């Protein structure tokens, strides 16, 4: 499903003309199989979120190759990345990133509008999905009228609405209490099994990592398999 080969990336720091490059990712190589839940754990600043952003095409690495379903995405330009994301990826964020001026229904519907899906099909798909994730009773509410757990469910529904084969989740339970976290993790697991969706989850939370089929640890820009307990 996803292949990452010898990925390297660094950031510039310092004043212009005196910049230094600080390595963030170092020779990162790993694979994610179709239908897997993979967690990448590590301390803040270890490089795990940078890795996710590069895999998703929001950033370009300094070097290395990324393939998704055999398609080399690391060579895409910005427009190609945007189209590929819309067709292949869904995203779940720690702070939900919902549009405050749109209702829960409209937030979930938005990716379908971007894809040019007609109104009747949009409404049918959104209604069905919101029922599946337990949001029917709040579909006309705005984000500030929803609890944190409800907002994250809207975010998950929005990520799912285009039927993407891959969902990237960046600290998806970081803003939730422990009980709501469990609800969201159970929802992710059930969707993974029911729809065979591949999840790549960035987290510093052992509890989240335990839901994964495989766990990778990021330390100082280097990725290794396993070892979640001493990574956080």
pLDDT at 228: 52
Does 158 score more than 70 pLDDT?
Answer: yes
201: phi then psi, degrees, rounded to nearest 5: -115, 125
Does 10 score more than 90 pLDDT?
Answer: yes
> What mean pLDDT comes out for the span 184-196?
91
Does 232 score more than 50 pLDDT?
Answer: no
pLDDT at 205: 87
> What mean pLDDT comes out for the span 97-124?
96
Does 210 score more than 80 pLDDT?
Answer: yes
115-156 pLDDT tens trace? 999 999 999 999 999 998 889 999 999 999 999 999 999 999
pLDDT at 231: 41
Q: 2-225: which CATH topology?
A: Rossmann fold (3.40.50)
pLDDT at 227: 61
Interatomic CA distance for residues 145 and 159, integer angstroms: 20
pLDDT at 206: 86
36-78 pLDDT tens trace? 999 999 988 899 999 999 999 999 999 999 999 999 999 999 9
- Domains of the chain by residue range: 2-225
Spell out the SS3 assignment of the chain. CEEEEEEEEEEEECCCCCCEEEEEEEEEEEEECCCCEEEEECCCCCCHHHHHHHHCCCCCCCEEEEEECCEECCCCCHHHHHHHHHHHEEEEECCCCCCCCCCHHHHHHHHHHHCCCCHHHHHHHHHHHHHHCCCHHHCCCCHHHCCHHHHHHHHHHHHHCCCCCEEEEECCCCCCCHHHHHHHHHHHHHHHHHHCCEEEEEECCHHHHCCCCEEEEEECCEEEECCCCCCC
* Residue with more model confidence, 230 or 189: 189
| Assigned token pair, 14 | 């310092």
């Amino acid at each position: 499903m996803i292949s990452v080969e010898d990925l390297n990336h660094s950031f510039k720091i310092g004043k212009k003309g005196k910049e230094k490059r600080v390595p963030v990712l170092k020779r990162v190589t790993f694979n994610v199989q179709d239908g897997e839940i993979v967690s990448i754990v590590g301390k803040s600043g270890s490089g795990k979120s940078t890795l996710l952003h590069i895999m998703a095409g929001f950033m370009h690495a300094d070097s290395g190759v990324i393939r998704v379903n055999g398609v080399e995405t690391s060579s895409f330009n910005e427009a190609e990345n945007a189209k590929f994301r819309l067709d292949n990826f869904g995203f779940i964020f720690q702070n939900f990133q919902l549009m405050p001026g749109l209702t829960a229904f409209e937030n979930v519907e938005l990716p379908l509008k971007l894809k040019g899906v007609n109104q009747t099909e949009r409404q049918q798909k959104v209604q069905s999905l919101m029922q599946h994730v337990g949001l029917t009773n709040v579909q006309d509410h705005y984000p500030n009228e929803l609890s944190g757990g409800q907002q994250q469910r809207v975010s998950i529904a929005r990520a799912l609405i285009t039927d993407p084969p891959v969902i990237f989740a960046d600290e998806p339970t970081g803003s939730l209490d422990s009980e709501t976290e469990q609800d969201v993790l159970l929802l992710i697991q059930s969707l993974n099994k029911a729809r065979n969706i591949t999840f790549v989850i960035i987290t510093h939370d052992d509890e989240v990592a335990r839901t994964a089929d495989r766990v990778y640890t990021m330390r100082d820009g280097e990725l290794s398999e396993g070892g979640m307990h001493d990574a956080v």
